[in-house]
Chains A and B, each alone.
Chain A
Amino acid sequence: MKPRTDSRKFKTVSRRELLKLTPVLALGAFAIPQIQKPLLKGGLAFSDWISARLFRSGHLAPTFAAADLTPFEKFPINDYDVDDPDVDFDKWTLTVTGSVQKPGDYTLAQIQALPKVTQNTRHVCVEGWDVIGNFGGVLLSDFLKMIGADPSARFVSVECADDYYESLDMATALHPQSLLCYEMYGQPLTRGHGAPLRLSIPTKVGYKQAKYLTDLKVSHVLERVGYWEDQGYSEFYGL
């Protein structure tokens, strides 16, 4: 036997069930411009927070055989304004500031005196394409040791000859594949690829691989995050 009810009571029950769904309307907040912006900013920040938790210091990015390399001529030259900011190599130094014991100007020879590391890793662009490249340089962690960086500092930020700027969280900066890169494919960096010194961070997306470095700062707070991040891209974007 089925339970019985009358049509009036059934209408009340149905209406109550329908009203239970009203929380779904809260999603409509995303359609209101003034609220949408902070909501999406919060969503991205949450995503970055999870990303930082997912990052494992000891976990290596995949490395590849020489046969898998993208030919050097096909490695894209991406920048936001100029391919070549006319760096004067003879006068070039990397200016180190911030929470370090030995601030100052470091020459390329001083950097190259550190142990050299070469690796074939994937460069993933935020747009969705990727290439596998050969990168040579010194471990960023070795350089940070050399300049006496404060181990409790949270960020390493860089500035570039073309006004580009970027930053890394300390855990990523100390990752065993994070490079201050001065060679690609066994040759000194070309101007288009960021000569004389660039970042190569296989655990980060492409826009973090800043080129034509001129300044490096170790700090506890960031005044600005990065050229693209400050326009709305993910701040952490770990791969």
Chain B
Amino acid sequence: MATRAIAIEDVKTGEVTEAVYEHPFIVRLCHWVNAVSLLVMVGSGLQIFRAFPSFGAKIPEQVLINWPKSLALGGWLGGALQWHLTFMWIYIATGLVYLGYQIFSGNYKQVLFVRRDVPGVWPMVRHYFFFGHQPQTKEAYNPLQKHAYTSAIGLGVLSVLTGVAIWKPVQFSWLAWLMGGFHRARLWHFLVMWAMLAFVFGHLVMVVLHGWNNFVSMLTGWKEDPEYDSR
């Protein structure tokens, strides 16, 4: 993995530390724009859900989840739809720019979970959840992280496809058909959101656990004192 690493000499003490350029500008830009749009999409989506908090046909209507209005965005169905139908374009555009950049720059290798990452998953799970020793790694992302990020990107694609299926069930009737019909497409859209929220929760926990340098790397691109061997 061709990560750019530099040695930094402290001007006062002469002490030498290391930093690695982990996140190219486009990745950081997409990350933060997407963080905002995901928040808006979830908030407005839940307000839309409040208009018919169930799945299937109208009658008999069963309230599946009584989602509190205070945790929703838009105030009413029409307002929430305005947010949702505005930010979906930002969300889609961000996704396309990100995917395009990752593919054409080759940077996708940083996050794409591939077969040779499989053996590394279990040791990492043992480390995170069962206090096992920390496996050595030479990359910015360990196999479990790659698995999480690859899944999140997949969920992003699915969130758009399931969304289009319920937004345009006539023009894209084949999409709704692929998802097992219009009712199921709406359910999938909802479940994909929860899966995405589960990822975000895990992601935030890891950000807190990994401390300041790691957080700053998503702002400046540079990670000081990386926990892995960058040579």
A17 to B19: give the CA distance in the assembly, Å: 14
Residue on A nearest B5 in the bound complex, by CB: A2
Q: How many residues of B contact A (CB 8 A)?
A: 54
Contacting chain A: which of B104-112, B147-155, B197-205, B215-223?
Answer: B215-223
A10 to B223: give the CA distance in the assembly, Å: 11
Q: Which of B6, B61, B173, B183 contacts A61 (CB 8 A)?
A: B173
Chain B residues with CB under 8 Å of A21's CB are 28-29, 32, 219
- Asked if B207 is an interface residue, CB under 8 A from chain A, the answer is no
**A40 contacts B82, C-beta separation under 8 Å:** yes
**A47 contacts B85, C-beta separation under 8 Å:** yes
**B77 contacts A127, C-beta separation under 8 Å:** yes
0/1 string, A29-62, CB within 8 A of B gives 1: 0100000000111111011000100111001011
Q: How many residues of A contact B (CB 8 A)?
A: 55
**B7 contacts A2, C-beta separation under 8 Å:** yes
**B77 contacts A46, C-beta separation under 8 Å:** no
Chain A residues with CB under 8 Å of B33's CB are 24, 27
Chain A min CB distance to B219 (Å)? 5
**A10 contacts B29, C-beta separation under 8 Å:** no
Find the residue from A20, A126, A128 having the highest chain B CB count within 10 A. Answer: A128
- Asked if A157 is an interface residue, CB under 8 A from chain B, the answer is no
Residue on B nearest A59 in the bound complex, by CB: B171
Chain B residues 144-194 with CB under 8 Å of chain A are 166, 168-171, 173, 182-183, 186
Q: Which of A4, A17, A39, A238 contacts B221 (CB 8 A)?
A: A17
**A43 contacts B58, C-beta separation under 8 Å:** no
0/1 string, B49-82, CB within 8 A of A gives 1: 1011010111101000000000000000111011
Q: Total A-B pairs in contact (CB under 8 Å)? A: 145
A2 to B8: give the CA distance in the assembly, Å: 10
Chain B residues with CB under 8 Å of A20's CB are 25, 28-29
A197 to B8: give the CA distance in the assembly, Å: 79
**B59 contacts A10, C-beta separation under 8 Å:** no
**A14 contacts B52, C-beta separation under 8 Å:** no
Chain B residues with CB under 8 Å of A131's CB are 57-58
- Asked if B89 is an interface residue, CB under 8 A from chain A, the answer is yes
A222 to B29: give the CA distance in the assembly, Å: 41
Find the residue from B10, B25, B220, B221 having the highest chain A CB count within 10 A. Answer: B220
**B57 contacts A46, C-beta separation under 8 Å:** no
Given A7-B8, A13-B222, CB of A44 within 8 Å of CB of B170: no
Chain A residues with CB under 8 Å of B85's CB are 43-44, 47, 234
- Asked if A81 is an interface residue, CB under 8 A from chain B, the answer is no
Given A2-B18, A125-B52, A129-B52, CB of A54 within 8 Å of CB of B171: yes
Find the residue from B19, B78, B87 having the highest chain A CB count within 10 A. Answer: B78
Chain A residues with CB under 8 Å of B40's CB are 30
**A44 contacts B52, C-beta separation under 8 Å:** no
**A4 contacts B6, C-beta separation under 8 Å:** yes
Chain B residues with CB under 8 Å of A2's CB are 5-7, 18
**B11 contacts A8, C-beta separation under 8 Å:** yes
Chain A residues with CB under 8 Å of B87's CB are 43
- Asked if A88 is an interface residue, CB under 8 A from chain B, the answer is no
Instruction: Beyond A5-B9, A17-B25, A17-B222, list 14 extra A-B contacts (CB 8 Å).
Output: A2-B18, A7-B8, A7-B10, A18-B219, A44-B82, A44-B85, A76-B58, A125-B52, A127-B77, A128-B51, A129-B58, A129-B61, A131-B57, A232-B82
Q: Pick 13 A–B contacts, CB within 8 A, sort by A.
A: A2-B18, A21-B28, A47-B88, A54-B168, A54-B171, A59-B171, A74-B59, A122-B182, A126-B81, A131-B58, A202-B170, A232-B82, A238-B171
